[in-house]
Chains A and B, each alone.
Chain A
């Protein structure tokens, strides 16, 4: 710490002198101290002053000839609040009396910030008003600020607390008690092309509570947000380094892009979210309603996610943070492969009509049955294992204990004109399946410099280097290998197995490289504080992303063991160039905030695949593709561009009537020739009713705010989709020993009028805070309709095409989102916070092609599974009611053990016409409960997340057999958990796999679940203790993730929809220990 408490008082002795003495001086670029010294040397005056109170280091030019000391001093201190008393030859210089208190340069202010219960509040931002200087309170609520300027006013702000402005007024110690405010109401949120106080919002913007995510092992930020923000639906992840799926509110497209638009530091981000180090993220906001999204126009319909990374610090003292955690994981639920005994029983059960005797009603073993004549025994490796007594547990061979290690170090601070934030992160994840690995190095540098008082320039940049190398055993094959196949021969060498089944462990012996790299740099400049244009600013952003991927593999077992090697390289470059002009003006009770954006983006992509097989020499693997007898090369590329302009006007009156209007114009290269550009307008209104005089006297009501908005958003079409394309490839070779002849054929139908999808929506919302803000919350209701759906309209294949991309129909979404925050208990040492979030979305198809068949009502589109009045995810399928038993009257094409399908047409025969609406794949509603308990340094967070099916929702197919033949199934085995029909197990859950009936319906099951997603116990050490070891904060924690899931879904996991089939993957449960420390 560089506290300078010393104040030097210079007292220069001298002799009595005449006031009328005259002085001549000619000094350039000299400090006042030097000038005073010169005067002293040339005269008898001497000066008395306090250098802490009077700025004597200021440099000046002075030229005086024969002037009185009074005049010289006036000139010397011109414009300074300084007075001087000339007493004989002694001159005392001191601050002028009217400003005496504020002119004083204070050394430092320190203090402690507590909440209304007296508990210390860490993380409170303390800023010197009007500057970028400030600090953040430590774990015990303490802060220290140095180098206070004149008239300093400190601004204390903290999420959920009322911001306070306190003049320092010469004090050296200021303790502050923060009062609770409606949660987040003073929070500043990103709204796209700018930021806004949450209280001024008119649209629907949610901010993630990133603090609450700490202590859970998430290598990807989104994973941590799962279930925490109503309206944001994050999918479960079951592979290392995988990006979870994300959607915002309901689905407003049938076949168009469903992913939200991601804006990273103001730039449209096309990169991979798993490249972003979660520790670098300062804020995460989602624009949910049509009006706030409208500023992103044609790309906004699926929601907009704004991610802002940490900026440089505001103190000269660098703040260093270090976080590390270690987790171990295993499936929270395991399915079991059959052992030898169980497998052989399964084979008999599949071929029950041979393996069991007819006389016994197929319940007793048939004495004459020889299992060796059954289908599995056509596979030599199964026969071998059978004879040699094999009982292999392939899952054991292909899986391991999962671990996650994360480490991150960050440093932020500022020097005179430059502030900086730098971080380095290293994460290493080893998943349950061997070689399902991920490690990532990220490095970030965010720098900003104040070039002049009207110009700031900076860069936000990061590099992310992810390594997914290593080939996992094919999980499906692991599930299909069965206990009789043996992976290694007696000498311990890997066997290929052969037949139609390759050893799944081969992957472990392959050389595999998979590196995905990304560089991001946003270079920006901000022009503001222009003296002749007050309130005006101009931001220029030039964001660049470069991603490149290398995927190389050598497999010596492939291609009939002649070996195969390949290299796949791709790269994508994109840039965004934005000009953002804004103007803020406050006039009495009116405030205007206008923003104009003009920008453009371009993206370019290319890839090359080189592959060769039948290798003469495999020593160098994929590094010598030239060894292959057969060599193949493929390449691909694309490019796209867009340009856009946007204007937004925010107006507020008395800070309680709020109005926002925006208009955006978008042009995108992927639009069809006749429809290149589009306009997207919106407006919104907000009213803070609690500020009205008739409400603001209420004792219990702290906040009541009403919002309403309307807007139009678009959804882009995929590039090139409107063009008539022709596919060309080597198609034939004429004659023996001929050469490749290339063929060409049209590959899709053109549509020169293809337009963007257009979503219109309204949003009504209520924000409230009552009982001294002990209970706060928010209710949002929205309705949207999307027209001109981009859709692959199924065509009769008579046309030679499966489909045409067209704009059709209309779908509607409506939903409600509720967030409720309460603090049931609030004492000095103990505090309990409870957050409840609920979201429900209902989706409905309003129109499709219209009434094509002329029967007076809109037609469904059976071939695309779309039904008027039903959700997009409607499940239209056969209605299964049990299984045919032996002796039942079984229709043609069905067998004992086949599913009994309800004959809805009543025709007696079963056909496609007997399908019916079973429900939908979308859930009915989602909710989550977040509990946070704090007792002294301890805090405990418990997070429950749930997705609920309701009456007919959240269906997924859990058919373990699909259309596989009995031969296939009997060779591949089934999980122990698959309960299938046999004559002695007539009430089984699933049909018999012993035959394939003419109709093999899927098995739809509900996926409702409640998950104990996160439990985090942490301890913050007291700052008294820490200060002794020069530490600012230290937290230790243990946590558990996915600790328990309550569900009726049979299979690996309801949320991923992983069922009992071969392709299921487990979801892992993790236990984590971690540390977070801050040095200063």
Chain B
């Protein structure tokens, strides 16, 4: 009012100099501006938190595109016919204009941009030199992590290493080698400057995470010694060990130690788990927790991977079992990520071409292959009976193409939290039927786990021709799960890929691994009956998004071969 009065007087007196400048100054009342948001340690902590949140949002928040690493590979295929959304048809899915193609690109470049902003703004911040090193190490870890997705999905991509503060439209692609070398450099810095895993808060990255990722990148470059040294530093870290005994939240329930690894509350180190390297954090019903007990929010691995049991055929009268309930035991699956026969059966065969159930990873707890009959309209004698679809009488569950029905197929229980869903999602406490809001994996999720580090090192040994050490590492992983031990003559890259499947399964971003090894096309043709007819060799890489090519007006972003 005082201001108004003053200006009124000015106007009344026909004076023009009434401090118009301050009247017109823009005072954003509810938004933060970047000028004063990258100064203190608190600011940088917040910017780093965004890297975790951004990464989780990109790949663990229930978006369809998060599952692009699984379907269309040797691991799983789309459970539903004729739906491009589910990667059923390669040419139809991987079009340069497809939203999916842009999703991974822009999501990772956003992480890179946020990391670059942190790195560029450190110089003028109030942080001490030591603090700057630690912050930079964490930012560089995420920058390398994002480039991992980009380089394995798209090949050589433009390297952006500085904060972009004004319009820029002249990007050109770097070679795959340049990108990988940059990642090595970032990860070496991260490994040297990040705190030890024993001293970080649960969920935060550490020197161990950086070394694990470094090993993977080194393998892609053929730097096998670097891969060995970095993975060895992870394996030899006294704070790290494979879980070898039952532990955690459900230790008194029937199960096994592999099952324990995936139960709620068992992923962080504070639960006694020394195997975890980088764990995506979820917390129910808290801002930033990423999960809700009343809406379907979170990582949808349960929904995508668990079978859609109402679609199962009734073993009693062979009609569609629409009444079969989706329960807290099986999860509320939609049957979209269906294992290939290779994943569900062949890799588990022992010497006698039968599934070797000594391997706990394929136990009924971890890889069930049947359904518990609960159709209330069915005959009483079937109630509660477990139907194993592997048995001869239940072979009808395989379609003529050798593909499982969406209603019942073998699946990894790590996608769900058997009989441990949030209470508000149980619609009927008697039958333990789930509400439609279920479908989320209500546990934290491993992004990196020590078992994989062993397999990375085994791969490096194999590449160097050091078969005995490769065998040792593979057997360390197998032995922990009771699987039979292998010998040097067995070790091939395909065996390691199979072993990764057995150990990691749907934990692994399979497409990235296959792309790193150039095995994408070969193994998909071989093991994925569903996608074999439609995958072409150029589908090893995604196309560069058309939007990016179009918007990059000052230079040419070359399209990947096969997409022009």
Contacts and interface: CB of A to CB of B under 8 A. Distances in A.
A741 B288 contact: yes
B288 A749 contact: no
B564 A911 contact: yes
B202 A734 contact: yes
Given A598-B11, A746-B34, A800-B109, A849 B52 contact: no
Interface in B183-238: 201-204
Interface in B16-58: 16, 20-21, 23-35, 37, 43, 45-47, 49-54, 56
B91 A734 contact: no
B166 to A, nearest CB: 7
A756 to B, nearest CB: 13
A568 to B, nearest CB: 15
A795 B11 contact: no
Interface string A648-675: 0000000000000000000111110000
A734 B286 contact: no
Nearest to A670: B26
A998 B288 contact: no
A736 interface: yes
Interface stretch (B380-388, B484-492, B495-503, B552-560): B552-560
B242 interface: no
Nearest to A373: B320
A852 B281 contact: no
B564 A801 contact: no
Contact of A720 (B23, B28, B435, B534): B28
Contacts of B45: 741
A669 B292 CA distance: 41
A548 B102 CA distance: 41
Interface stretch (B77-85, B360-368, B473-481, B505-513): B77-85
B429 interface: no
Interface residues of A, number: 108
B358 interface: no
Given A600-B7, A745-B117, A800-B114, A735 B289 contact: no
A769 interface: no
Given A725-B34, A744-B47, A996-B85, A798 B24 contact: no
Nearest to A378: B311
Interface string B158-177: 10100011111101000000
A476 B230 CA distance: 55
Interface string A774-797: 000000000000000000011111
A746 B24 CA distance: 24
A361 interface: no
A800 B424 contact: no
A378 B407 CA distance: 10
A269 B36 CA distance: 35
A720 B31 contact: yes
A966 interface: yes
A729 B287 CA distance: 9
Interface in A793-824: 793-802, 804, 806
Interface in B520-564: 534, 536, 545-548, 550-554, 557, 563-564
Given A559-B295, A744-B43, A893 B288 contact: no
Contacts of B288: 729-733, 740-743
A911 B95 contact: yes
B167 A795 contact: yes
Contact of B424 (A560, A732, A745, A796): A560
Given A600-B7, A744-B47, A798 B26 contact: no
A354 to B, nearest CB: 9
A237 to B, nearest CB: 32
B530 to A, nearest CB: 15
Nearest to A370: B320
A995 interface: yes
Interface in B418-458: 424-425, 435-437, 444
A910 to B, nearest CB: 9
Nearest to A575: B4
B550 A863 contact: yes
A895 B92 CA distance: 10
Given A731-B288, A966-B83, A797 B268 contact: no
A830 B268 CA distance: 91
A728 interface: yes
A146 B262 CA distance: 96
A735 B294 contact: no
Contacts of A641: 23-24
A878 B268 CA distance: 51
Contact of B285 (A629, A642, A667): A629
A745 B160 contact: no
A757 B329 CA distance: 61
Interface stretch (A167-175, A249-257, A630-638, A923-931): A630-638
Contact of A638 (B11, B30, B93, B96): B30
Contact of B294 (A377, A560, A911, A996): A560
Contacts of A999: 95, 97
Nearest to A640: B26
B30 A743 contact: no
A676 interface: yes
Contacts of A671: 24
Given A372-B320, A643-B20, A743 B553 contact: no
B89 A893 contact: yes
A351 to B, nearest CB: 9
Contacts of A13: none
Contacts of B289: 733, 740
Contacts of A579: 11-12
A952 B240 CA distance: 69
B551 A796 contact: yes
A168 B395 CA distance: 110
A726 B24 contact: no
Contact of A965 (B25, B54, B85, B171): B85
A719 B27 CA distance: 10
B406 to A, nearest CB: 8
A751 B270 CA distance: 47
A613 interface: yes
B327 interface: no
A749 B553 CA distance: 18
Given A560-B424, A725-B33, A996-B83, A796 B548 contact: yes
B77 to A, nearest CB: 16
B436 A500 contact: yes
A892 B551 CA distance: 27
Contacts of A967: 80, 83
Contacts of A894: 92
A498 interface: yes
B413 interface: no
A749 B117 CA distance: 12
B265 interface: yes
A727 B113 CA distance: 14
B167 A731 contact: no
B110 interface: yes
B316 interface: no
Given A743-B53, A796-B171, A801-B164, A995 B82 contact: yes
A965 B83 CA distance: 6
Given A579-B11, A733-B281, A863-B551, A797 B287 contact: no
A790 to B, nearest CB: 14
B354 interface: no
Contact of B20 (A558, A667, A966, A998): A667
Given A383-B322, A745-B50, A796-B552, A498 B436 contact: yes
A862 interface: yes
Contacts of B113: 746, 799-801
A668 B24 contact: yes
The 3 A-B pairs at the shortest CB distance, nearest first, are namely A800-B113, A731-B53, A743-B50
Given A375-B80, A378-B311, A800-B116, 6 more contacts: A733-B281, A733-B286, A743-B53, A912-B96, A965-B85, A998-B92
6 contacts: A732-B52, A732-B203, A735-B281, A744-B37, A798-B158, A893-B92
